[in-house]
Structure 1
C-alpha cells in the first residue's frame, strides 16, 4: 500500500509537533493531517506496538489475554488502516471538532515528549485514537473489547456503552475522558439483550406518550 513509510526513518524521537495539530478545527483538515503524519510510520511500527502490548499480558490468564490481543489488533492495525484510507464528504469534512480536541492534543504532546525511544510510538497511538474518537466518533476500545468482570464495550440502540467509563475517567494516560462512550447502566450489566429490548421499548413508548400525547 502506498501510504507506508519505507524510508527507514529513525525509530527514536518525535516525528511531528502536536501543537500544529492542536490548531485544526474541522474534521476534514484533521483527517488530512492524520494521514500525513501516519505516513511516517511502517508496518513494523504497528507490530512493535502489538508486541509491547502482548508483553504486558504475560501474567494475564491466556484466554483473556488472547481476547485482549485480538481486540488490540483491531484497535491498532485496523484503526491505522481505516485512518489512512478513509474519506469524508465535503459536508462531513466541515464539521467542527469536539471541544475536547485541544486537551487531547496537549495530552498527546506530553505523552510523546518524555525523551525516551517510546515517544514515537506513543505519538502513533494518539494519532490512531484521534482518528477513532474525533473523526469516527467511536470508542478507542473496539466494540466487544472485554474488561474484568465479563463485561465489554458495546453498541446498543445507537449508543456506545463502556463498563469502565466512569472508573477510568480520571486516569491521566487513559483516553476515557475523550471517549464518546457512556458508562454502562446497571441494567445493561444485569439484563439479557431481550430483556433490555423490552425495557427500552417501554421507555420509548412512555416518552412518546408523555411528550407528544400529553
Structure 2
C-alpha cells in the first residue's frame, strides 16, 4: 500500500510520505539498464488502485478544464494519451515480459539522477499553494506523472509529451524519422520541476 497519511505534518503529509518517495526515487535512479528501470517503474505503477487512478483522471480533467477553448478540446486527448495511454502501454509490456529483453544501458545516468532528485522535490511542490487540498494533491499523484514521463524519456527515449500534441501558436510535437522536435523544449528552463529540461526532443526552432 502507498503510505499516504495526509494531515500529520505542518504542510499536510507525514514524514513517511517524504521518506517513501525519496526511497522510490533512489531505487529508480540506481537502475543501470532500460529494462531494469522499466520494470521498477511498472512495479511502482502497480501500486495505484483503480480509485487512485480515477482521482488522477479527475485532477487531469480539472486542470484541462481551465484551459481556453478551442485549445482545451484539441489538447485533451493528448493529455489522456500522455498519462493513461502510456500507463496501459507500460503495464502491458510489463505483463508480457517485454522488459526482460531491454538490456541496453541507460543513455545518460547523470541526467536520470538529476531527474529523480528533481522528482523528490516536485511531488511536494503544491503543498504551499493556495489551492492545495491534501486529498486532491497527494504527492503520489505527482509521482505517477513523473514515473510515466521517466519511462517515455529514458526507457523509450521519446518525448515527454506525445507526438502530435498541440501547443498554443499552432505548433506540435513532431517526429522526423525518430528525431523528435518540440516547440517548448528549450522555453521552460526556468519553470520549476518541468520535464522539458530532461526531454530528448530538440527545440522546434532547430528543425531544418
Which residue of 1 is the match for residue 112 of structure 2?
A: 101
Partner SS for 1:24? coil
Structural mapping, 1:4-153, within 5 Å: 14=17, 16=21, 17=23, 18-86=25-93, 87-88=98-99, 90=101, 92-99=102-109, 100-113=111-124, 116=134, 117-153=137-173
Q: 1:22 touches 1:102 (CA, 8 Å); kept in 2?
A: yes
Task: Quote the Cα distance in structure 2 between the aligned partners of 1:180 and 1:70.
Answer: 22
Say how many residue pairs are matched. 181
* RMSD of Structure 2 on Structure 1 (CA): 2.5
Deviations for 1:82-127, whole angstroms, at most 9, x for unmatched residues?
A: 112221354x323234231000110111122456552010111111
Out of 164, 174, 183, the residue aligned to residue 194 of structure 2 is 174
User: Which structure 1 segments of 5+ residues have no match?
Assistant: 1-6, 189-199, 201-214
TM-score (norm 1): 0.74
TM-score (norm 2): 0.76
Q: CA deviation at 1:157?
A: 3.0
Q: CA deviation at 1:28?
A: 1.5
Task: Quote the Cα distance in structure 1 between the aligned partners of 2:144 and 2:63.
Answer: 18
